[in-house]
Amino acid sequence: MTDAPDVPEVIDGAAVAGPDGRLRCPWALSTEDYVAYHDEEWGRPVHGDEALYERLSLEAFQSGLSWITILRRRPGFRAAFAGFHIEKVAAFTDEDRERLLADPGIIRNRAKIDATMANARVLAEWAPGELDALIWSHAPEPGTYPAPKTVADVQAVTPESTALSKALKKRGLRFIGPTTAYALMQACGLVNDHLETCVARSTP
């Protein structure tokens, strides 16, 4: 998993039985905070421009950090960025930037804050559903990649994520390289990188 690299020590990186006896991806058991995210969110299809803008923004903030750092601050991010409502963030001012830089509830990185605000301004000019359509147009055909058996089989970058990164950058979006794009694809269900024997792989 590209956005949750902190995994417990496991044999061969295979799925691990949790306290309930069910097999899960090893990273899901590295902290209690991950279990619900792994079981209920990660790899499930996400649609809607603002839901995807939120995920895109959080993945950008995660760059260089552990995903758990972002996950634990997600309520703070949502409060700071007006629920990731695109038009509201697009209207943020220099005063909002200074407010964000002083907010301990988020990651106070100027470049990432500026990118999140700039991306909202770009997306505010797009037609409704355009971001959703662009991102999902880069989902690989079903069966393109086999189910990973161990964490070593999980990729960090694919041709599709590279193409998605290029497409988003061409349209003016920032802080979305191929690795971040693939983390977005994993998190939003464009690909299913739950391990082959993981309970969440086939759970509806």
Q: How far apart are CA 75 and CA 72, in angstroms?
A: 8
User: b/e map of 63-77 (b: 16 or more CB within 10 Å)?
Assistant: beebbbebbebeeeb
Task: Note if 125 is an active site residue.
Answer: no
Beta bridge partners of 17: 23
Task: Note if 34 is an active site residue.
Answer: no
Choosing from 27, 34, 37, 42, the catalytic residue is 37
Choosing from 53, 67, 160, 182, the catalytic residue is 67
Task: Note if 67 is an active site residue.
Answer: yes
Report DSSP state, residue 77.
Answer: H
Which residues fall within 8 angstroms of residue 200, CB to CB, at 6 or more apart?
A: 24, 25, 28, 38, 39, 42, 43, 194
Catalytic residues, which ones? 37, 59, 67
